[in-house]
Copies of this chain bind each other. A is one copy, B any other.
């Protein structure tokens, strides 16, 4: 299965939908990226809310339009609250997205993420090492949050994972691949400088989660999320002098980006 390039018109269309619908996104994410994740969603016109108590998480994921589960700083209490939120989202028919940060390297989160695969995620977004580990195809786990593999090498794993879970799987890197196990879209853009800023991948997962609340073809919506982030990243790199100035430039670019830019 050769991947197709995402059509720019499709990305533009998805971005317009995103801004119009302004999805309310319940983010259960790690301690390191909370602020950046919220600011990325706000810049794109979505409404983020971080609710973490077990009872409240279950209550809120039924109200929100989409749920993000990111296991970067997992604890036993958070795992419990995440399960409750996922159950509630599933009951309410709200899509949820998994970001399996550093899965493979650490036992507790690896077991937890594999358990979650049975709970019908709408989407999964990870780097190559994470997707390989989640699909059970990595020889050894990575050392941490950085990938030691290329996205293309993880494409068969992503496709297998998509078929197994019925989720749209995005494996991101220099090129991003988004697959439902049958069709695969490739997204280019972005810049290596983005790997020198914490949370760009985690924030992308939040935008993927929000995009799963859009009407229309989910594969296209998720690929459009990758494309919007990559294009904003390229613009921000051009406007900045390092990873520090990249951050405000990236949020400004996300805020300014419109359908015409993307198309």
Contact = CB atoms under 8 A, between A and B. Distances in A.
A116 interface: no
A51 B50 CA distance: 20
B107 A63 contact: no
A153 interface: no
Interface in A102-144: 102, 105-109, 143-144
Nearest to A33: B35
Contacts of A240: 252
Stoichiometry, as copies per complex, reads: 3
Interface residues of A, number: 63
A134 to B, nearest CB: 17
Contacts of A109: 56
Interface stretch (A72-80, A89-97, A176-184): A72-80
Contacts of A246: 248
Interface string A212-252: 00000000000000000000000000001111111111111
Nearest to A72: B50
Contacts of A51: 73, 102, 106
Contact of A243 (B42, B105, B144): B42
A245 B243 contact: no
A43 interface: yes
Given A34-B32, A74-B53, A143 B243 contact: no
B73 A145 contact: no
Contact of A77 (B72, B75, B144, B241): B75
Contacts of A106: 51, 56, 59-60
A40 B234 CA distance: 22
A175 interface: no
Given A43-B244, A75-B77, A242-B256, 11 more contacts: A31-B34, A38-B198, A55-B107, A59-B107, A60-B105, A60-B106, A63-B143, A63-B144, A64-B144, A244-B248, A244-B251
Which 5 interchain pairs have the tightest Cβ spacing?
A244-B251, A242-B252, A244-B248, A38-B198, A242-B255
25 contacts: A24-B143, A32-B35, A32-B50, A38-B198, A39-B244, A43-B196, A43-B242, A47-B145, A49-B144, A50-B73, A53-B73, A53-B108, A55-B108, A60-B105, A64-B144, A196-B255, A240-B252, A242-B251, A242-B253, A243-B252, A244-B247, A244-B249, A245-B252, A247-B251, A248-B248
